[in-house]
Amino acid sequence: MKNQYLALTFLAVVILTIGFLNHNDYYFNILNILFLKGLIVIGLSLLMGYAGQVSLGHAAFYGLGAYTSGILTAKFGWGCLPALGVAQLVTFIAALMIGLPALRLKGHYLAMATLGFGVIVYIFFKELISLTGGPSGLVGIPPLEILGKVFMESREYYFLFGGILFLALLGALHLAHSPFGRGLLAIHDSEAATVSLGYDTNRLKLIVFLLSAALAGLAGSLYAHFAMFIAPTSFTFLHSVKLVTMVVIGGVASLWGALLGAAVLTILPEVLTVFEDYDVLVFGAILVLIMIFLPEGLFKGLGKWIGQFRHKIAT
């Protein structure tokens, strides 16, 4: 955990330095979206890397958070914080309904069930027009207001989202290094052995799943207020897949890796703009190449490469 504190301090310094030195709102907005994606992948990384379960419906939890917050504030005039609370409750209940039965079974049932769940939720976003605004989206979501402070500037959102991401990462790292986290990691390796050690593996898995859904819901609520507009196209099955891809690209079973994956997949398309129309092709190719040559993900893979490189220099 000592190394982790060092890395966390470093992260905090980087976030603060960028926050104070940067004056370009475009960069802030890219980073804001990255921070929100980071929140989701932290939960997803715990679920995939530690509990060995895959969710193909996390965009739906993200969307549930966004739409609950959005609808309550835009249509019913609620305050942002109470709406956020209800949004957390809604995502929690939804996750419980899916997770409770699916996680009793061994295998990839959670993946399948969340896939179906994601599609259903997306259809409801599109069809409950009187509530959600339908396919053309929900307008009139107010900017975030916490205890009288209204967030207007991209920089303000940057510090808020950065702070929340930092706290979430801190919490997740603690969890991963606690007996609870070690129990989870054991499930990933051998569920039967974990049971024999006296862990209630179903409960562990369920708790992680609920936690990851709650984080996605939180990111959704924040996104709704940040963008002030949401539409169903941001919460499709393909977005769920993209979130899973972020975790895998970075390296399953590594929270830092997942964040790296989120950063790469959020920033890469912006950089690929130089390829003009061919950017989709380059993006797909890069994805395939990373997975072929660094099957354990960028984080570990790059680490190994750097290790070998050092070794070469030394000899």
Partner 1 sequence: MSELIQFIFSGLTNGAIYALIALGFTIVYNATEVINFAQGEFVMLGAMFMATFCALGLPIPLAFFLSVGIVALIGIIMERLAIYPARHASHITLIIITIGLSILIKGVAMFAWGKDPLSVPSFLGDTPIHLLGATIVPQKILVLIATLICVLLMELFFRKTMVGKAMRASAVNRLAARLVGIKVEPLVLLAFALSAATSAVAGVVISPITFATYDMGTLLGLKGFSAAVLGGLTSGLGAVVGGFVLGLLEAFAAGFISSAYKDAAAFVILILVLLLKPEGLFGKGATKKL
Partner 2 sequence: MKKFLLSFILVSFLLVSTSVWAGKPYKIGALFSITGPTSFIGEPERNTLVMLVDEVNKAGGINGHPVELVVYDTEGEETNAVKKVTKLIVQDRVLAIIGPSRTGTTLAVVPFVERYKVPLISCAAGIKIVEPVKPWVFKTAQSDRLAVKKIYEYCQANGIKKVAIITVSNGFGQSGREELKSLAKEYGIEIVADELFGPKDTDMTPQLTRIRSKNPDAVICWGTNPGPAIVAKNMKQLGMKQQLFMSHGVASKKFIELAGDAAEGIILPAGKILVADQLPDDDPQKKLLLDYIARYKARFGKEPSAFGGHAYDAFLLLKAALEKAGADRAKIREALENLRGIVGIHGIFNMSPTDHNGLDEKTAFVLIRIQNGDWQLIK
Q: Which is nearer to partner 2, 23 or 311 (CB)?
A: 23
The entry of partner 2, partner 1, none that residue 115 binds, CB within 5 to 8 Å by partner kind:
partner 1
288 binds partner 1 (CB under 8 A): yes
Note whether 260 and 294 are within 8 A (CB): no
Q: Nearest Cα to 1, choosing from 311, 255, 187?
A: 255
Q: Collapsing DSSP states into helix, strand and coil, what is residue 299?
A: helix
Residue at 253: amino acid letter: A
276 binds partner 1 (CB under 8 A): no
Which of 136, 281, 307, 309 contacts partner 1 by CB under 8 A? 281
Q: Which is nearer to partner 1, 97 or 167 (CB)?
A: 97
Note whether 25 and 3 are within 8 A (CB): no
Stretch binding partner 1 (CB under 8 A), from 88-96, 155-163, 220-228, 281-289: 281-289
Burial class (CB in 10 A: 0-12, 13-18, 19+), 221: buried
Q: Is the dihedral of CA 170, 176, 177, 180 positive or negative?
A: positive
**Contact positions toward partner 2, by CB under 8 A?**
24-26, 29-30, 33, 126-127, 129, 134-137, 139, 152, 154, 227-231, 233-234, 269-270, 272-274, 276-277, 279-280
DSSP 136: G
Note whether 125 and 232 are within 8 A (CB): yes
Which residues would be at the binding site for partner 1 (CB under 8 A)? 48, 54, 98, 101-102, 104-107, 109, 112-113, 115-117, 119-120, 123-124, 127, 191, 195, 201-202, 237-238, 241, 244-245, 248-249, 252, 277-278, 280-281, 283-288, 291-292, 295-296
